[in-house]
């Protein structure tokens, strides 16, 4: 007969799954009351930790919602960026040619001009 193992516990790296597991453990702890073995756990007070689970789960849910919204907004932005970038590059080239004698005047157009000499590459 094969030797029986004590069982391998796999703890998820996913915060939502861990919060769900903690919620189940806390619920069982409350159901058992004074009979709960978690009552003897040193360094953890489920009376303090347990009530924080729902609000932490809500924070996680909100963060995921905003993450989805963020990705949607970035995708919408990326649709328009090529045209805007092209207009920006071509406009700066035209303005640079127009203000060739006074490039600092490009600052009036919101264009940052760096007229300091380039550093020589180190050998």
In this structure, are residues 10 and 18 in contact, taking their beta carbons and an 8 Å threshold? no
**How many H-runs (helices) and E-runs (strands) does the chain carry?**
3, 0
The domain ranges of the chain are 15-109
pLDDT at 114: 82
Confidence of residue 90 (pLDDT cuts 50, 70, 90): very high
Distance CA 47, CA 34 (A): 12
Structure confidence by residue, pLDDT tens digits, 15-53: 999 999 999 999 999 999 999 999 999 999 999 999 999
In this structure, are residues 30 and 71 in contact, taking their beta carbons and an 8 Å threshold? no
The tokens describing 15, both together, are 């915060």
* Position 1 pLDDT exceeds 60: no
Contacts of 48 (CB under 8 A, 6+ apart): none
The tokens describing 43, both together, are 């360094």
Mean pLDDT of 94-100: 90
* Position 7 pLDDT exceeds 80: no
Distance CA 50, CA 45 (A): 8
Distance CA 38, CA 41 (A): 5
Q: Is 7 left (phi over 0), alpha (psi -120 to 50) or beta?
A: left
Any idea what the Cα angle at residue 30 is, between residues 28 and 33, rounded to 5°? 110
């Amino acid at each position: 007969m094969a030797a029986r193992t004590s069982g391998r516990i796999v703890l998820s790296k996913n915060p939502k799954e861990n919060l769900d597991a903690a919620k189940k453990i806390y619920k069982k702890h409350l159901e058992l009351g004074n009979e709960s073995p978690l009552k003897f756990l040193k360094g953890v007070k489920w009376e303090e930790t347990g009530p924080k689970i729902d609000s932490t789960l809500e924070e996680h849910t909100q963060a995921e919602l905003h993450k989805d919204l963020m990705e949607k907004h970035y995708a919408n932005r990326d649709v328009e960026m090529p045209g805007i970038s092209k207009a920006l590059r071509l406009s700066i080239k035209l303005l640079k040619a127009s203000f060739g004698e006074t490039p600092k005047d490009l600052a009036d157009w919101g264009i940052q001009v760096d007229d300091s000499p380039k550093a020589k590459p180190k050998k």
